[in-house]
Amino acid sequence: MYTVILVLITVSGIHGWSDTKVRRFRDDFLFGVATSAYQVEGAWDVDDKGENIWDRFLHEHPGVIADGRNGDVACDSYHNYQRDVEMLRELGVDHYRFSISWSRILPTGFSNEINEKGIEYYDSLIDELIKYNIEPMVTLFHFDLPQILQDLGGWANPLSVEWFEDYAKIVFEKFGHKVKYWITMNQPNSICVDGYGGIEFAPAVGFSGVADYLCIKNVLLAHAKAYRLYQTEYKTKYKGSVGISLSLNWADSVDNKTENVESTDLFREFSIGLYMNPIWSKEGDFPAVVKKRVLQKSIEQGYRKSRLPELSSEEIKLLKGSADFLGANHYTTYFVKKAEKRLPSPSIDDDIGVELSQPSDWKTSQSSWLRSAPYGLYKMSLHINKVYDYPAVFITEHGWSTTKGLKDSSRVKNLRNYFNALLLAIEDGTDVKGYTAWSLMDNVEWIAGTSERFGLYEVNFESKEKTRKARLSALVYKRLIEQRIVEEDWKPDNMNISITKRKKYAKVEL
Ligand code: BGC
């Protein structure tokens, strides 16, 4: 009862924007946009880049891609990075979040062979950003593991922790003096639950309930090792901040039945707690309820031990506090209900035992999983404040998908509604330092290919030059960055966008 009343009050309070107060983003609040290497770079085998798991997966299974377009060429940012930076200057953003392709700089996956042409590419991109006072925010790993490391078990192999640490060391050595914001991993749940549990995401291992948990432990430990490495060897010299980006969508109970409210709590422990607890909780470790549930199920299924691997006391210590900021990737909200039918087991879905849905009256995007529910961002922010004691947050992704076309009014609406929710969350005590829109431009949306467009800029994939054009949302975002307020009725006079002169960037402590 209590939960539902709370949901309704919050929904109407936020959806209706019942007060008329004008809320403003602080002057030092940072605005940026994001992309990732596989999704934009192209040049998949150019200049000695090694093969990665997405190259292999989509080459071997072209039929899984909605429109058949893989990342071989993508936006060709490898050759068009200067145009990308020009777009960032047009938007007037403070930072650009992009990722480094591990196999572009280490074609063998290991540190024995450094590909200087790969290093040069990222060096040129970073220099171009700095030249125009745009702060690089670099993700070390955004889903594209070198294939050779996958052949050795990938993230299910505990040695992956060392492989990642070696890779991180090279990246910190090469770019540490220029980059102040680092993100170790993008969305461990996608890497592991989708890639090792499922079959629609590379490396498509499809061993849910086992491989996904092995992967989660190793990915989190790899993150922590890279964090500690930066702390001991580079922090004093370079004074940068290191965080991790987690997928933090929100979940609410579908109704007030006790079984659904309890299932929602459990779902949050599996979707948020599993990744946040080891780093941000006082006691560290995976959440107790998750450990208990997987152990109980595993024993019932005839396993000798829990399918969720344990963290030793040293590992718990290594992980606890291993982030200067929480990178929050937030897109949508789900309603949760206790599963009525039996789910295939073993699997993480069976361990959680819920069904997810989204109300049909929430605005739909071009992606089946993505509907607009701005109040969810507000509730998510308050939840993490309460459970994890006000962590420093950077929104490292948030976005909306459409079809082709420059007049993307549904993206503009979604953006404005979520900004209002974000401003309220900040007013109510959330320590959000910045916001990063996904994405700068249309790109290869994994197995959706280019059938779902997330860009503030449209990309013409048919053209040789992969021409980019500003959408309406780019103009609205640019204006918002300048004005720092959400103007519900502001419309540009025309679709022209020009370069904004930026002041020298002032670093924000994370
Ligand atoms: C991922 C991006 C992806 C976006 C939209 C995020 O979870 O990090 O790579 O394109 O979602 O699906």
299-335 pLDDT, tens digit per residue, is 999 999 999 999 999 999 999 999 999 999 999 999 9
Q: What Rg do the C-alpha atoms of the chain give, in angstroms?
A: 22
Please indicate whether residue 397, judged by its CB atom, sits closer than 6 Å to ligand 1: yes
Active site residue 397: yes
Tell me the CA–centroid distance for residue 142 and ligand 1, in Å: 9
Residue by residue, what is the 3-state secondary structure of 94-153?
CEEEEECCHHHHCCCCCCCCCCHHHHHHHHHHHHHHHHCCCEEEEEEECCCCEHHHHHCC
Tell me the CA–centroid distance for residue 314 and ligand 1, in Å: 32
Active site residue 388: no
Q: Does some domain include residue 284?
A: yes
Q: Does some domain include residue 348?
A: no
Active site residue 253: no
Mean pLDDT of 278-282: 98
CB 195 within 8 A of CB 236: no
Mean pLDDT of 92-120: 98
With a CB cutoff of 8 Å and minimum separation 6, the contacts of 474 are: 87, 90, 91, 456, 457, 497
Domain of residue 174: give its range.
Answer: 28-249+267-332+368-483
To test the ligand 1 pocket, which listed residue (99, 438, 442) has its Cβ within 8 A of the most ligand atoms? 438
Given a cut of 60, whether residue 145 has pLDDT beyond it is yes
Residue 16 has what pLDDT? 46
Which residue owns the Cα nearest ligand 1 atom 12?
Answer: 445
Tell me the CA–centroid distance for residue 147 and ligand 1, in Å: 21
Residue 393's beta-bridge partner residues? Answer: 326, 432
Residue 506 has what pLDDT? 61
What is the band of 504 on the pLDDT scale with cuts at 50, 70, 90? low
Q: Does some domain include residue 93?
A: yes
Instruction: Give the DSSP H or E segment for 313.
Output: helix 313-319
Which residue owns the Cα nearest ligand 1 atom 3?
Answer: 445
Q: What is the CATH number of the domain that holds 389?
A: 3.20.20.80
Q: Which of 38, 39, 41, 97 is catalytic?
A: 97
How would you class 261 by CB atoms within 10 Å of its CB: exposed for 0-12, middle for 13-18, buried for 19 or more?
buried
Residue 19 has what pLDDT? 74
Residue 18 has what pLDDT? 61
Q: Residue 4 carries which side chain, given as an amino acid letter?
A: V
pLDDT tens for each residue of 37-84: 999 999 999 999 999 999 999 999 999 999 999 999 999 999 999 999
Residue 8 has what pLDDT? 37
Tell me the CA–centroid distance for residue 402 and ligand 1, in Å: 14
Residue 186's beta-bridge partner residues? Answer: 245
Residue 507 has what pLDDT? 65
Please indicate whether residue 329, judged by its CB atom, sits closer than 6 Å to ligand 1: yes
What does pLDDT average to over the chain? 95
pLDDT tens for each residue of 423-463: 999 999 999 999 999 999 999 999 999 999 999 999 999 99
Phi, psi of 424 (to 5 degrees): -65, -40
Mean pLDDT of 108-131: 98
Residue 1 has what pLDDT? 32
Q: Does some domain include residue 338?
A: no
Please indicate whether residue 187, judged by its CB atom, sits closer than 6 Å to ligand 1: yes
pLDDT tens for each residue of 338-355: 999 999 999 999 999 999
pLDDT tens for each residue of 195-233: 999 999 999 999 999 999 999 999 999 999 999 999 999
Mean pLDDT of 162-191: 98
Q: Does some domain include residue 133?
A: yes
User: Sign of the C-alpha dihedral, residues 354, 360, 361, 364?
Assistant: positive
Task: Name residue, tokens 């594209």.
Answer: 144
Q: Does some domain include residue 228?
A: yes
Please indicate whether residue 445, judged by its CB atom, sits closer than 6 Å to ligand 1: yes
Given a cut of 80, whether residue 367 has pLDDT beyond it is yes
Residue 204 has what pLDDT? 98
Residue 453's beta-bridge partner residues? Answer: 402
DSSP state of 446: G
Residue 500 has what pLDDT? 85
- Of all residues in the chain, the percent with pLDDT exceeding 70 is 95
Tell me the CA–centroid distance for residue 424 and ligand 1, in Å: 25
DSSP state of 362: S
With a CB cutoff of 8 Å and minimum separation 6, the contacts of 433 are: 29, 30, 325, 392, 393, 394, 508, 510
Please report the atom of ligand 1 found closest to the CA of residue 370. 12
Please report the atom of ligand 1 found closest to the CA of residue 401. 5
Active site residue 331: yes
Tell me the CA–centroid distance for residue 186 and ligand 1, in Å: 9
Given a cut of 60, whether residue 2 has pLDDT beyond it is no
pLDDT tens for each residue of 240-257: 999 999 999 999 999 999
Please report the atom of ligand 1 found closest to the CA of residue 190. 7
Q: Residue 55 carries which side chain, given as an amino acid letter?
A: D
Overall number of domains in the chain: 1
Q: Does some domain include residue 340?
A: no
Residue 13 has what pLDDT? 47
Residue 363 has what pLDDT? 98
Would residue 133 be called left, alpha or beta, if left means φ above 0 and alpha means ψ between -120 and 50 degrees? Answer: left
Bridging pattern class, strands 333-338 and 354-357: antiparallel
Q: Does some domain include residue 356?
A: no
